[in-house]
Amino acid sequence: MTTAIAGPHGGQVPRPGVGGRRARRLVLLGVLAGLLVLAVLASLAVGAKPIPIGSVWTALWSPSGSQDDLVIWSLRLPRTLLGVEVGIALGVVGGLMQGHTRNPLAEPGVFGVSAGAGFFVVLGIFAFGVTSLYGYVWFGFAGALAATVLVFLLGSLGRGGPTPVALAVAGVAVTYLLKALTSAIVLSDNAALDAFRFWDVGALAGRDGALALQIVPFVAVGLALALANAPALNLLALGADVAAGLGQNLRVARWTGLAAITLLTGAAVAACGPIAFVGLVVAHAARFFAGPDYRWLLPTAGLAGAVLLLTADVIGRVVVRPGELQVGIVLAFVGAPFFVALVRRRNLVRL
């Protein structure tokens, strides 16, 4: 369906209607889904031991117990599944945070979520002797939740309530405080320092299928809350006063968004460490291709995040073969120039 608008000389200029935009967005999601399938296959096939695509297919659907089957099922498939989960989670979080703060540079670190997860992981290692990745998940999730609640409470102290600026300022303050406390612990305990260095780099390697399954409930609930929050984000984009005038409960919208951010970021960071730039990059890409409607932007950002994370992980296995470059380092090379370019664009001062 198309509509028409008045042209510069009084004529009618056709404009794509709702049906056309919906069709383009569905095509975009289909393309991203196809790219994700290719990224999954590449993640299963590429590594220190290259495996042909035919052997990957055989291992997935009719394994015979060969060495290739063992590599895929015990090492690469859990790593790939975890990458899909974490990529989707971080991509959606980027869209959520930019929508709630109306800040084009918003990242999970703005609310202190990553710093909270990191501090609690180190605290678990130092005070409770936690050494397993499963233990990191629970402490990381608790830290993300505690940091998010603290930031929201501090940002709500003023007369204006939890405004985007107040939340951002509170988040920066909490982030630096938690990073200072984390540094104090790791510098005083060698065991905590060694474990923290392994976790802090941001990686998919060394994780198994049990960990991928363990974070599924958190990611699933977080995604459900994020999608439920999308209509409210569309109203908040018009301004808080306008959204309230249209009947939107601002408190419910913000608490829902913060709960989704906590669950998604807490699970991702606890499992793989603080992987930066995924949410920042894919949220802007999703806004460019899918438009400002968060009902489409969030799913687009989630799929794009999974594609980006898996692609970066595959690149990290190739560039320093037979060794590996961790995915967090690869993404820093991708995200840092994007971040600088974003800052220099004056038209992105506000969303």
- For residue 11, the model assigns a pLDDT of 47
223 token code pair: 């995604």
Candidates 234, 293, 305; CA nearest to 84 is 305
Candidates 178, 172, 170, 168; CA nearest to 115 is 178
- For residues 192 and 130, what is the distance between their CA atoms, to the nearest angstrom? 9
Residue 351: what residue type? L
- For residue 110, the model assigns a pLDDT of 67
- For residues 102 and 121, what is the distance between their CA atoms, to the nearest angstrom? 30
Identify the CATH homologous superfamily for domain 52-205+225-346: ABC transporter involved in vitamin B12 uptake, BtuC (1.10.3470.10)
Cis preceding-peptide flag for 63 (omega within 30 of 0): no
- For residues 156 and 173, what is the distance between their CA atoms, to the nearest angstrom? 14
Q: Which residues of the chain have pLDDT under 70?
A: 1-18, 109-110, 133, 160-164, 191-192, 195, 198-199, 342-351
Phi/psi region, residue 324 (left: phi>0; alpha: psi -120 to 50; beta: rest), is beta
Q: Are 56 and 41 in contact (CB under 8 A)?
A: yes
pTM of the entire predicted model? 0.85
The backbone torsions φ and ψ at residue 13, rounded to the nearest 5 degrees and listed phi first, read -110, 125
Q: Are 116 and 265 in contact (CB under 8 A)?
A: no
29 Cβ contact list (under 8 Å, min separation 6): 299, 300, 303
- For residue 348, the model assigns a pLDDT of 46
Per-residue 3-state assignment (H helix, E strand, C coil) for the chain: CEEEEECCCCCEEEEECHHHHHHHHHHHHHHHHHHHHHHHHHHHHCCCCCCCHHHHHHHHHCCCCCHHHHHHHHHHHHHHHHHHHHHHHHHHHHHHHHHHHCCCCCCHHHHCHHHHHHHHHHHHHHHHCCCCHHHHHHHHHHHHHHHHHHHHHHHCCCCCCCCHHHHHHHHHHHHHHHHHHHHHHHCCCHHHHHHHHHHHCCCCCCCCHHHHHHCHHHHHHHHHHHHHHHHHHHHHCCCHHHHHHCCCCHHHHHHHHHHHHHHHHHHHHHHHCCCCCHHHHHHHHHHHHHCCCHHHHHHHHHHHHHHHHHHHHHHHHHHCCCCCCCHHHHHHHHHHHHHHHHHHCHHHCCC
Side-chain half-sphere of 274: how many Cα atoms within 13 Å?
Answer: 21
Q: How far apart are the first and last CA of the chain?
A: 29
- For residue 349, the model assigns a pLDDT of 43
Q: Are 240 and 230 in contact (CB under 8 A)?
A: no
Candidates 198, 207, 203; CA nearest to 329 is 203
- For residue 164, the model assigns a pLDDT of 66
Q: What angle do CA 258, 178, 344 make, to 5 degrees?
A: 70
- For residue 343, the model assigns a pLDDT of 63
- For residues 104 and 125, what is the distance between their CA atoms, to the nearest angstrom? 35
126 token code pair: 């130092």
The backbone torsions φ and ψ at residue 266, rounded to the nearest 5 degrees and listed phi first, read -60, -45
Q: Are 189 and 123 in contact (CB under 8 A)?
A: no
